[in-house]
Structures are given as C-alpha cells and as structure tokens.
C-alpha cells in the first residue's frame, strides 16, 4: 500500500500575507476553493463542505489541528459515511514579493481504495487544479 503523501508546490506572485488571507478567510476561499459556511484558522475549529464529481458529491468534514499564523495550517480531512482520515497541510514561505506554497496531503491510503474518487490520481488531479490553477488565478488577478 502506497503511504507516500501527495505534495504540490507552487510559487505565486503575491506576498505571504495575501496568500494567508486567501487560505483562511471564508469569503476569499469561496472564490477559489470551496463554498464554506464558516472557517476560522483556530485549532479545533471544524468546517464542512460538499465536493466531488458530476456523479456524486461527498460531504467533507475537516477539523483544524495546527495553526502557525502566516506560515502553516493543518486540518484533518474525512468524508461523512466513509472510513479513513487524512491531513492537509499548507505551508507558506515568503520569497521577497512572492510566496512559495507547499501543500501536503497525508493519509490518502486510509480511504476506501476500491473507490476511484479516493484514488491517489483523483487527489492529484484535484489539488493540481486547486493549487496550480484556481489559487494562482485568484492571487494573481489584477
């Protein structure tokens, strides 16, 4: 069983404080991530959202486990009605007027492996779109 975490890194033409706001402010998150009813970058805060494919939507249940303001955010990520729990970590590295973001998603192997939506390739495709396209476009728009 492959227990290797999924990791993606991108550097954005945006200062770290703008990136931090983008990943922690629910109104900003709605513009590039998911439509969250509530979000607070506080350990213990739980947030939920729906997402998936055209065929099926999954109810995501996430709970924040670590916060280093402006630098790091980690939350548990699981699906209502399915076994398994994973963790998503966003790390921000200021590089002058740019910011390098490293997203690490661990525990993918804990989800049902007989469901293509929980396959590593599905997470890779989703995060590549979210981090590589949606967040980039949001941060770099004029």
Sign of CA dihedral 29, 88, 129, 20: positive
Question: What predicted TM-score, i.e. pTM, was given to this entire model?
Answer: 0.95
**What is the per-residue pLDDT for 140?**
87
* pLDDT per position as a tens digit, 125-142: 999 999 999 999 999 885
Q: Residue 142: its pLDDT value, please?
A: 59
Task: Tell me the C-alpha to C-alpha distance, in Å, between residue 140 and each of 77, 90, 98.
Answer: 27, 18, 11
Percent of the chain exceeding pLDDT 90 equals 92
DSSP helix/strand/coil, 80: coil
Nearest residue to 78 via CA among 38, 46, 101, 54: 46
Q: What average pLDDT score do residues 47-76 get?
A: 95
Condensed to tens digits (0 to 9), the pLDDT of residues 41-57 reads 999 999 999 998 888 99
């Amino acid at each position: 069983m492959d227990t290797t975490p999924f990791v993606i890194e991108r550097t954005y033409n945006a200062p770290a404080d703008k990136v931090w706001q983008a990943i922690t402010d629910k109104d900003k998150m709605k513009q590039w991530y998911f439509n969250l009813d509530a979000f607070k970058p506080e350990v213990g805060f739980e947030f939920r959202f729906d997402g998936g494919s055209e065929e099926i939507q999954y109810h995501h249940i996430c709970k924040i486990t670590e916060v280093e303001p402006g630098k790091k955010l980690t939350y548990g990520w699981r699906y209502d009605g399915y076994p398994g729990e994973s963790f998503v970590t966003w790390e921000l590295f200021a590089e002058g007027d740019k910011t390098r973001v490293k997203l690490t998603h661990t525990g993918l192997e804990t989800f049902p492996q007989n469901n293509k939506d929980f396959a590593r390739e599905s997470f890779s495709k989703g995060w590549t779109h979210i981090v590589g396209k949606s967040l980039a476009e949001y941060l770099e728009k004029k």
